[in-house]
Chain A
């Protein structure tokens, strides 16, 4: 039986190569692509996305599939971007050329998303993403939709939030340090910071950038200590660098608010590597989060049961929300045709709790594909738990300043 299954799959794979078609599936299924890194340096990011996407598919199918299409079930088709743009574009082309993908959730890394965006535009398949680089929704592309914030908004709201919180605690933010690697996402983050911090009366006293991996974090931490900034903006993208820099900052005993960007500061492994004392107070921006909406809390419980992991990050919640946005669009389009799905996305105004519980706002896309009301979420480690501290109206805990 196993043999039969295998040989059938081989035949399908050969057919896929020869005809450029992925295996034909039962007609009533609607295929949603998930294109993300599942191997190489960023594999963990893709794994976290996949959990969210799979949970969404199960939930959608459990509650009756796409009702406007006679209860059609969703099916997740995953493809691995690998580690380079070539492998990412190959996977995108393979997935999208099959002609039976209604929408694509993609790709975590901004360069992969940019490349996939180009292919999706040419093949007319809508993409949902939460990659935060400003360039993602620039250039007049019609098939790209972003659920979360861009870096510009992230930075703008983060500065305001930090300054407010400091004021409430009786302090003042006058100087800031930027430390991080030179990957695309950090470069975009720091570019915005360099522009906006001075405008907000914050002087940049240290700007230390490296090519990952960082061989020794102590000299960087010492430089931070000597510069003595009021706030530290952290732009590390790899797990090891993130751990090393927090460890070093603790070693030089500098107690200042630390704000990072991305999921790597909030994973269970990050906590395991550093322990509760070292991570306490560390903040990170997210494109979506577990808000105080009860649906989110219930989702978190199911996530914990499913994965045995203590909490979740925006890779999972954003993918989950994006799959529900796609579901909503399918519902509205009443068709699996990607062009119709795209039109439904462009004109949607969704109040679906499965998306709003994590995104915090109704989903409505601007002409460039940016979710109009997207919020910048800030999560902070407090007593060994990641708590949503901003925006305040949906926060699960108030922000703590050291």
Chain B
């Protein structure tokens, strides 16, 4: 057990956690504000990856630079889904869940039909390069993706704390009835939260495609992690989601090194259930109303 080994584990966990954090921020908007388990969430990420791939493939555009435009496109793609979701009576969780399941099925099959099952990769000059600092290896692509994720999360944080819409969104996450009674148009806020959420998924997908191939079912590798991160961090706040994402990355990273690699996610699940039982509001969250 050397310092560089510990450092490597830590760095790996943080880089991983940064991406999870961005994904979790999108969940915090959709799950946190609307209280909907959106099974299609990771599929929007997949669409973001695919779009970023296409922009690179046809126009040579860099996916990290294109993260924001890709995000905007995915926000637009989220709009019809948000509209459909708002037509389901609020609080009818089973119907909402099945609806997003249907959306997920549609997105995945459309991707299979139009993009095909072949993994699509983006090879940038930085994809296969590494910084070596004190024996610790850091992949350029993952580091750039991490930095981009931090910037986008900071932007989201500013949006949620500095703008009226953002604050209304947080108030709605906190207590929809109260928010409604002080003049917040809850339906509108829900729609806005949903499309910003899918937009963020698109941003995340765009930066991820620099080190990960995209295929129609890549989302299934991330969907669980996204929800675990956001519940662990605490609903409805970007710092909570960021912390949750980081925590998941670190648990995975250290769990892999100090326990069996094969059981890496078991340590994550155990922590998750324990946290839900003993601190249901999340590490960083406010207390949920009954």
Interface residues of A (CB under 8 A from B): 38-41, 43-44, 46-47, 182, 208-211, 213, 215-216, 218-220, 222, 239-240, 243-244, 247-248, 250-252, 267, 269, 272-275, 278
CB nearest to A221 among chain B residues: B137
> Can you sample 18 A-B contacts with CB below 8 Å?
A41-B215, A43-B117, A43-B217, A44-B215, A210-B256, A211-B265, A218-B8, A218-B139, A219-B257, A239-B215, A240-B212, A240-B218, A247-B127, A250-B128, A251-B139, A252-B137, A269-B119, A269-B213
Query: How many angstroms from the CA of A308 to the CA of B211 in the assembled complex?
Result: 25
Interface residues of B (CB under 8 A from A): 5, 8-9, 12-13, 15-16, 109, 112, 116-121, 123, 127-128, 130, 137, 139, 211-213, 215-218, 220-221, 252-253, 256-257, 261-265
Q: Name 20 extra pairs, CB < 8 A, besides A44-B118, A215-B16, A251-B130.
A: A39-B109, A41-B217, A43-B112, A44-B117, A209-B262, A211-B261, A211-B265, A215-B264, A216-B15, A216-B16, A218-B12, A219-B9, A220-B261, A222-B137, A240-B119, A247-B127, A247-B128, A248-B137, A272-B123, A273-B127
Given contacts A182-B262, A252-B137, contact A215 B253 (CB under 8 A): yes
CB nearest to B2 among chain A residues: A226
Instruction: Please give the distance in Å from A127's CB to the nearest CB on chain B.
Output: 23
Given contacts A39-B112, A243-B213, A275-B128, contact A219 B119 (CB under 8 A): no
Residues of B within 8 A of A209 (CB): 261-262
Query: How many angstroms from the CA of A239 to the CA of B218 in the assembled complex?
Result: 11
Query: How many angstroms from the CA of A46 to the CA of B116 in the assembled complex?
Result: 11
Query: How many angstroms from the CA of A252 to the CA of B15 in the assembled complex?
Result: 18
The answer to whether B128 and A208 touch across the interface, beta carbons within 8 angstroms, is no
CB nearest to B120 among chain A residues: A269
The answer to whether B128 and A278 touch across the interface, beta carbons within 8 angstroms, is yes
Query: How many angstroms from the CA of A41 to the CA of B12 in the assembled complex?
Result: 26
Query: How many angstroms from the CA of A210 to the CA of B263 in the assembled complex?
Result: 8
Given contacts A44-B117, A251-B137, A275-B123, contact A219 B256 (CB under 8 A): yes
Query: How many angstroms from the CA of A208 to the CA of B262 in the assembled complex?
Result: 9
The answer to whether B130 and A273 touch across the interface, beta carbons within 8 angstroms, is no
Query: How many angstroms from the CA of A38 to the CA of B12 in the assembled complex?
Result: 34
The answer to whether B263 and A222 touch across the interface, beta carbons within 8 angstroms, is no
Contact of B256 among A215, A273, A275 (CB under 8 A): A215
CB nearest to B225 among chain A residues: A215
CB nearest to A226 among chain B residues: B5
Query: How many angstroms from the CA of A43 to the CA of B112 in the assembled complex?
Result: 9
Instruction: Please give the distance in Å from B249's CB to the nearest CB on chain A.
Output: 8
Residues of A within 8 A of B221 (CB): 213
The answer to whether B8 and A219 touch across the interface, beta carbons within 8 angstroms, is yes
Which of B5, B128, B265 has the most chain A CB atoms closer than 10 A to its own CB? B128
Residues of A within 8 A of B264 (CB): 210-211, 215
Contact of A47 among B118, B217, B220, B263 (CB under 8 A): B118
Instruction: Please give the distance in Å from A394's CB to the nearest CB on chain B.
Output: 29
The answer to whether A219 and B12 touch across the interface, beta carbons within 8 angstroms, is yes
The answer to whether A222 and B8 touch across the interface, beta carbons within 8 angstroms, is yes
Which of A38, A216, A240, A252 has the most chain B CB atoms closer than 10 A to its own CB? A216
Residues of A within 8 A of B217 (CB): 40-41, 43
Residues of B within 8 A of A218 (CB): 8, 12, 137, 139
Query: How many angstroms from the CA of A243 to the CA of B130 in the assembled complex?
Result: 15
Query: How many angstroms from the CA of A244 to the CA of B8 in the assembled complex?
Result: 16
Residues of A within 8 A of B5 (CB): 219, 222
The answer to whether A273 and B123 touch across the interface, beta carbons within 8 angstroms, is yes
CB nearest to A309 among chain B residues: B118
The answer to whether A272 and B121 touch across the interface, beta carbons within 8 angstroms, is yes
Query: How many angstroms from the CA of A215 to the CA of B265 in the assembled complex?
Result: 10
Query: How many angstroms from the CA of A210 to the CA of B260 in the assembled complex?
Result: 8
Instruction: Please give the distance in Å from A76's CB to the nearest CB on chain B.
Output: 18
Query: How many angstroms from the CA of A210 to the CA of B117 in the assembled complex?
Result: 24
Instruction: Please give the distance in Å from A236's CB to the nearest CB on chain B.
Output: 13
Given contacts A44-B215, A222-B8, contact A210 B261 (CB under 8 A): yes
